[in-house]
A = this chain, B = another copy of it.
């Protein structure tokens, strides 16, 4: 696959995250308006798909695919419609397109555009499928001998998160309060989290419903696309609350996603295998083909890179996670969001959380903003990701959030 050329000049650069090969799905709020509109990114522009559909430039069997404030309706229609919609967009935006003159009026500069949630999240599940991350965290909490839980190599461990807390990139994050108890404290106290952290993840968007157990292949087919995902985590709240039923308030402040959903189709050239299996998986979870993706990922703290890793470091693919998610008969719905789990690599600078980078605060990370064990008020954290094609990139846009100081005690009357 090489660069597909567009009459939108900026889309033909090897530097843009949004060439014609990408066409990621997003939503923007026009100036002076309140309701988001469906759009795709092309070069340094967004293309108002809602307006183009309303005017008849896009017409897929008369369906309303871009008319709502997000892409859930489009997803509902399934893979054939996803393909037809993408094919039509590709025709419209291709170099030499007969539609250029008509289509130009639907372009708006991305710079300064207000972007909104590209989907309504039905439910949010967060996995723990990065082996380096699980090993690092397990070593810190339980020692190197017991780093990986016994089930870890057999099932993609996951827990249900809170869909209401998922926000789009650019949303400020407020440092939470919580109940905290250090290992040497006699009793818990109520205070602002002091160990607030990022988790560098990818998110898979479920685009088709299921009702009963589905295979890994069916799961792959049901995934619409992928986003960058930062699962903001209060480590001190988590340490006190998470036994025996898992993380709860520690993960409920916010989870940020990139404004753009990159379709599975755009990522197709970058499919790759999961890492070698230490223990063979049970048949229903086995790999049936390359279902991870080679996507270099990074994190910046106040603009300076602190993490570099790759989506291909995960032990389980999103398809395996989704298949496991359905094993007990759990119904899945359009708009379900599956966080991959933190994606760390083997080296220190591949670690996808400050918990790991600072080894639980024992080895603060040196950054141009000063040493960091965890996030400080005012810090801006940004996730970046772009698959590298032959003369083009498939990017997600950044997934950014700035940590605001905690409010005064919300319970102080």
Q: Contact residues of A with B, CB < 8 Å?
A: 122-123, 128, 149, 151, 154-155, 157-165, 174, 176-179, 181, 187-190, 193, 212-213, 215, 234, 237, 240-250, 252-254, 279, 282-284, 324-325, 327-333, 407, 410-411
Closest B residue to A413 using CB positions: B215
Collect the chain B residues with CB atoms within 8 Å of residue A283's CB: 190, 411
Bound CA span A160–B242, Å: 12
Smallest CB–CB gap between A113 and chain B, Å?
A: 25
Select the residue from A212, A215, A327 with max chain B CB neighbours within 10 A: A327
A160 close to B162 (CB less than 8 A): yes
Smallest CB–CB gap between A125 and chain B, Å?
A: 8
Bound CA span A24–B154, Å: 46
Known: A154-B188, A162-B330, A237-B328. 18 other contacts (CB 8 A): A123-B162, A128-B244, A149-B244, A151-B240, A151-B243, A158-B245, A158-B248, A165-B329, A165-B330, A176-B327, A176-B329, A177-B213, A189-B282, A249-B330, A250-B328, A252-B329, A253-B329, A254-B329
Smallest CB–CB gap between A279 and chain B, Å?
A: 8
A128 close to B328 (CB less than 8 A): no
Closest B residue to A283 using CB positions: B411
Bound CA span A331–B244, Å: 24
A328 close to B252 (CB less than 8 A): yes
A164 close to B250 (CB less than 8 A): no
On whether A245 and B128 interact (CB within 8 A), knowing A179-B282, A189-B282, A411-B284, the answer reads: yes
Bound CA span A187–B153, Å: 11
Collect the chain B residues with CB atoms within 8 Å of residue A165's CB: 329-331
Collect the chain B residues with CB atoms within 8 Å of residue A151's CB: 179, 181, 188, 240-241, 243
Bound CA span A243–B141, Å: 13
Smallest CB–CB gap between A64 and chain B, Å?
A: 21
Collect the chain B residues with CB atoms within 8 Å of residue A177's CB: 213, 327-328
Closest B residue to A254 using CB positions: B329
Bound CA span A116–B105, Å: 48
B159 close to A330 (CB less than 8 A): no
Bound CA span A325–B251, Å: 11
Collect the chain B residues with CB atoms within 8 Å of residue A248's CB: 157-160
B410 close to A159 (CB less than 8 A): no
Collect the chain B residues with CB atoms within 8 Å of residue A249's CB: 324-325, 327-328, 330
B241 close to A155 (CB less than 8 A): yes
Smallest CB–CB gap between A177 and chain B, Å?
A: 6
On whether A246 and B282 interact (CB within 8 A), knowing A176-B327, A329-B253, A330-B164, the answer reads: no
Smallest CB–CB gap between A386 and chain B, Å?
A: 30
Smallest CB–CB gap between A234 and chain B, Å?
A: 7
Smallest CB–CB gap between A222 and chain B, Å?
A: 14
Smallest CB–CB gap between A189 and chain B, Å?
A: 7
On whether A159 and B159 interact (CB within 8 A), knowing A123-B123, A246-B246, the answer reads: yes
Collect the chain B residues with CB atoms within 8 Å of residue A122's CB: 164
B241 close to A242 (CB less than 8 A): no
Bound CA span A155–B178, Å: 10
Bound CA span A158–B252, Å: 12
Smallest CB–CB gap between A95 and chain B, Å?
A: 44
Collect the chain B residues with CB atoms within 8 Å of residue A164's CB: 122-123, 330-333
Select the residue from A213, A328, A330 with max chain B CB neighbours within 10 A: A328
Collect the chain B residues with CB atoms within 8 Å of residue A327's CB: 176-179, 249
On whether A410 and B242 interact (CB within 8 A), knowing A160-B160, A176-B328, A282-B190, the answer reads: no
Smallest CB–CB gap between A385 and chain B, Å?
A: 24
Smallest CB–CB gap between A268 and chain B, Å?
A: 25
Closest B residue to A155 using CB positions: B179
Closest B residue to A152 using CB positions: B244
B212 close to A410 (CB less than 8 A): yes
Smallest CB–CB gap between A78 and chain B, Å?
A: 18
Smallest CB–CB gap between A190 and chain B, Å?
A: 5
